[in-house]
Amino acid sequence: MENNLNTIHPSYKIYHGNEVSSTVYYAFKSNELLYTRENKNSSFQSKIKVKYSVFEEGNKSAIDTGSLIIIDEVGDVKIQNITGRLEFNLTVQKKGYIKLEARDENRGRSVKTFIYLDKLNDYNEQFFLVKDVSNNIVYDNYLSNEKELVIHSYFNTKKALFVNHNSAYFPLASPPFSNPDKSSFKFKTSKAKLLSKNSDFSFNYMPPEFGLVHFQLDTTTKNGFTLFQFQEHFPNIKTADEMIHPVRFICTKEEFQKIRTNSDAKQAIDEFWIKKGNTSDISRDLIKKYYSRVEKANLYFTSHKEGWKTDRGMISIIFGPPKLVRKTASSIVWSYGDENNMNSITFTFNRISNPFSTNDFQLDRNYNFKNPWYRAVDAWRNGKAYWIQ
């Protein structure tokens, strides 16, 4: 259940490129798809079916529906990403949402995605198409190895585009039984920079090595869209240095200080996990499960800071995936365990107004979470990946 085996994780990017229609750019990872062949003489192929329905705000009837089949044939080398685009009807000045269902036809597994559509406010990210210098679309709001960005906007060719680099450090979440963190972060840590236009009215920008960059049409407001630059391999954890900070949730202060100040990061993190697992096999399993949760937190809960640092990231790493999720317009409720399970617990996360992200939720902290928290942390420290079933 934790590994999400045989599940696809499509990437989507909405772009409003004209007055009457918009575009969904998509990318599928080929290593998540099942490739089959009809007979020994035919080539291996993957087959994805994408269905979509578009709804305007306040209207229960779809204004546009459709589907397409995407086939990838294996040659000498299997490509890493399968990319393309589909057009859908949506006129300017409208809001709504699009429902996308992608199905791996060979495996019989599908995933549904709902994306809010805003073709009214021209400062939001859907009015901008961000690419790298190799013309690859940047699907996520976090950057990885992009050395330079090229930003296109059909509706904003006659306007100026400003960028503000915020280099503030954002701490990880405090335990769920502690007092709420009411510290605020600075909206700006540098002066806004005016980007120059290319001959095709696009903008070029060289992202910083770390921090968030907030793009704006009007610097007298907080409105805009944001891209984030975290560690090199984000959202994945690939180096010993990247493994160190997420273990803070299950470390004592003394342990963490010892790990963090060790000149050999690999030796320090290896010693920590070997001590917790007692045997190399148990330690390897612990590492796999712990950092799998860290990476999933980065994928799903990143806001103005890395997903693992957030309240939802902290809870998902320590307690595992919830058994039941309930959502409202302003909150998310996670339930763990069955009704008659003495270890059952419920966490409520409320949406926070954040100029940099719509994915920021804060936990309703409660002192009653103290015992469940330490029970879970102690399980990890004693060589067991914790999860309430």
Mean pLDDT of 6-30: 93
CB 159 within 8 A of CB 319: no
Residue 3 has pLDDT above 50, yes or no: no
* 243 or 186, greater pLDDT: 243
Mean pLDDT of 323-348: 90
Q: Domain boundaries in the chain?
A: 1-120, 121-229, 240-381
Token pair in block for residue 317: 């790493």
pLDDT at 194: 96
Output the pTM of the full model: 0.87
pLDDT at 169: 86
Instruction: Name 210's Cβ contacts closer than 8 Å, sequence gap at least 6.
Output: 167, 229, 230
pLDDT at 343: 79
Give the residue among 315, 302, 309 at the shortest CA–CA distance from 348: 315
H-helix or E-strand containing 326?
strand 324-327
Residue 320 has pLDDT above 90, yes or no: yes
pLDDT grade, residue 326 (50/70/90)?
A: very high
- Taken as a whole, the chain contains a residue count of 389
Query: What's the CATH number of domain 1-120, 3.30.750.210, 2.60.40.10, 3.20.20.70, 3.40.50.970?
Result: 2.60.40.10
Instruction: Name 70's Cβ contacts closer than 8 Å, sequence gap at least 6.
Output: 28, 47, 48, 49, 50, 82, 84
Instruction: Name 308's Cβ contacts closer than 8 Å, sequence gap at least 6.
Output: 172, 246, 294, 297, 298, 301, 314, 317
Distance between CA atoms of residues 176 and 173, nearest Å: 8
Residue 48: φ, ψ to 5°: -115, 135
pLDDT grade, residue 280 (50/70/90)?
A: confident
Token pair in block for residue 61: 């009837």
Token pair in block for residue 248: 């803070």
Q: Determine if residue 308 is left, alpha or beta; phi over 0 gives left, psi from -120 to 50 gives alpha, anything else beta.
A: alpha
Token pair in block for residue 336: 């763990």
Give the residue among 28, 44, 50 at the shortest CA–CA distance from 102: 50
Cα 53 from chain centroid (whole Å)? 23
H-helix or E-strand containing 112?
strand 109-118
Helix (H, G, I), strand (E, B) or coil at 315: helix
Percent of the chain, pLDDT > 70? 95
